Structure 1
Amino acid sequence: MLKTDVQLRFDQLVTKVLWPVFKARGYKKTGNNFRYYDPLGWGKIVNIQKSAFGDRHDIRFTVNTGLYLAEADRQWTGRIAADRFLEPDCLIRARVGQLSGSGQDVWYEFTEQTVPEVLYQQVERDVVTYVLPYLDRMVSADAIIQHLLAKRQPASAQAISTVFACGYKEQARQWLADELATAASRTHRQQMESIKAILA
């Protein structure tokens, strides 16, 4: 089936507008994913996610980012995706709306009425302004861990145990103690309790 003009314009955004920016930084492209992986066990990814509610004539999409640590993958899945990791494999995930600081989830839309150049400029501006500065700061596994410790997000058992496994034992123990002291839900408390023995 031939692609619609909307589909072709979306493809143009991915391959001609966004991809060159990431290619210049050493990323690899797979479909709508731009992935950077370091053999030392960390990586970062950008995923252009289409909404499940669109169609061939109306494509809504957003920009997801992920920060990958092989140690987190190994601990919680028993495997390491390494240079094949995807955004859902990442310990730290954020969308362009979060990175902008607006607190709003941002979705872009391509329809038959969309002026392609205007949307291209908007998406490219948001990627250059919010996504690239964030990802460019992540130059090592340690940089990712430091970011995790500064933000404490996600506040998950996986995140805390990964910090511990990467050598930040006292910081991990303190983070766990703080989570246990402020846990608002029974489920969260149980998750935190589940790693107390690991961090002892």
Structure 2
Amino acid sequence: MAQPAMPRGNSRKIPKTHTAYCAIHPRASFPMSAMPASKPSDKAARRHPAATPADPPPMNTSTTRRAIRQISKQCAAALAPHGFKLQSPHLHRLMPDGLYHAINFQSSQWGDRHEGRFTINLIVTSQWLHTHWTNLPFPKNPGSAPWPILRRLGQQLPAGNDKWWDVNADTNLDALFTEISRALIKHALPFFAQYPDSQAILDRVRTGGFVHSASDAQRPLIAAILLVEKRQPEAAREILLNALKENAGSPFAKTINLIASRLGIKLQAPA
């Protein structure tokens, strides 16, 4: 999938997880721009020794990244009683059956060192779901695995809009943290409560219940992946066969066969 052109000086390599995700999710709109910063080299560390509160920040650290780092750390403390922990720059909690609830801080690819913006994504995923959909290892940071359920925090707010927060050198980050932490507690926690475990997702996709960000075509694939995890391969095969019949002659049939092969299920193409 072609990536949007970026201004000179801001190009970056797209992570493999995002590439694989977009390959079978053509309407994907989740640029993985909030990936954890890589560990600085020794040379970089010597160039920018550990700063004291009186020192200016290193010149290669943008205002947006500093804001995300501070606010995510503060949010982790506020959400710790609810089981969330920080894996910078994101937050996540692991549910008993292996499902993850994650809070992803996504910076905009536009902006500069002095000002920018970021948004917050709510993610429900698991190693099993992610691996069998993308055929890639589960990311070390669960907050960077945006499948199968992805929702903007702004869409959970009363206005229901895709909300981005602007930051610059004059932004009051403590006030911004207060706003965001309240929104997470009031609106993100009830969102996650709809998906307490993988069985809740399976029940929804099998009974026609609403699943955030999952298309009608994806629902049987999600169901099949979860059924195999629950040691019900025959039920998964039946669902995939029905999906294959409904998508006969469609390019999506290749995706169905691809997922089936990853699950170890053999399908026969409809006549």
Superposition TM-score tier, normalisation by shorter sequence: 0.7 to 0.9
1:151 maps to 210
Paired with 1:162 and 1:101, the residues of 2 have a C-alpha distance of: 34
TM-score scaled by length of structure 1: 0.72
**How far has the Cα of 1:189 moved from its partner?**
5.2
Map of 1:130 onto structure 2: 187
Distance 1:190 1:102, change over 3 A: farther
Q: 1:50 to 1:194 in 2, by over 3 A?
A: closer
Q: What is the DSSP-based 3-state SS (H/G/I as helix, E as strand, rest coil) of the residue aligned with 1:55? A: coil
Q: 2:128 maps to what in 1?
A: 71
Counterpart of 1:151 in structure 2: which amino acid?
F
Superposition deviation, residue 60 in structure 1: 0.6
Asked if 1:41 corresponds to 2:98, the answer is yes
**Displacement after TM superposition at 1:127 (Å):** 1.5
Bigger share in strand: 1
Equivalent residue number for residue 52 of structure 2: none
Deviation at 1:139, TM superposition (A): 2.6
Counterpart among 67, 73, 92 of residue 15 in structure 1: 73
- Residue 173 of structure 1 corresponds to 239
> Structure 1 residues 196, 5: CA separation in 2 closer, same or farther (over 3 Å shift)?
closer
In structure 2, what residue type is equivalent to 1:27?
A: F
Contact 2:221 2:256 in 1 (8 A): no
Q: How far is the alpha carbon of 1:34 from its aligned partner?
A: 0.8
Q: Is the 8 A contact 1:6 1:58 kept in 2?
A: yes
SS at 1:43 equivalent: strand
Q: 1:60 aligned to 2:117?
A: yes
Percent of matched pairs sharing the same residue: 19
Per the alignment, do residues 60 and 130 of structure 1 end up closer, same or farther by CA in structure 2, a change over 3 Å counting? same
Choose between structure 1 and 2: higher helix proportion.
Answer: 1
Q: CA RMSD in A?
A: 3.9
Listed one character per residue, the Cα deviations across residues 7-49 of structure 1 (whole Å, up to 9, x for unaligned) are: 5554332222x11122222222111111212463321111111
Structure 1: give runs of 5+ residues left out of the alignment. Answer: none
Q: Deviations over 1:99-130 (max 9, x none)?
A: 33755321111123434344333322322222
Q: Which amino acid aligns with 2:224?
A: S
For structure 1, which segment, 87-96 or 72-81, has the greater mean C-alpha deviation from structure 2 after superposition?
72-81
Q: How many Å separate the matches in 2 of 1:32 and 1:179?
A: 43
* The one of 89, 92, 95 aligned to 1:32: 89
Choose which of 239, 249, 255 in structure 2 pairs with 1:191. 255
Task: Confirm or deny: 8 A CA contact 2:139 2:145 kept in the other structure.
Answer: no
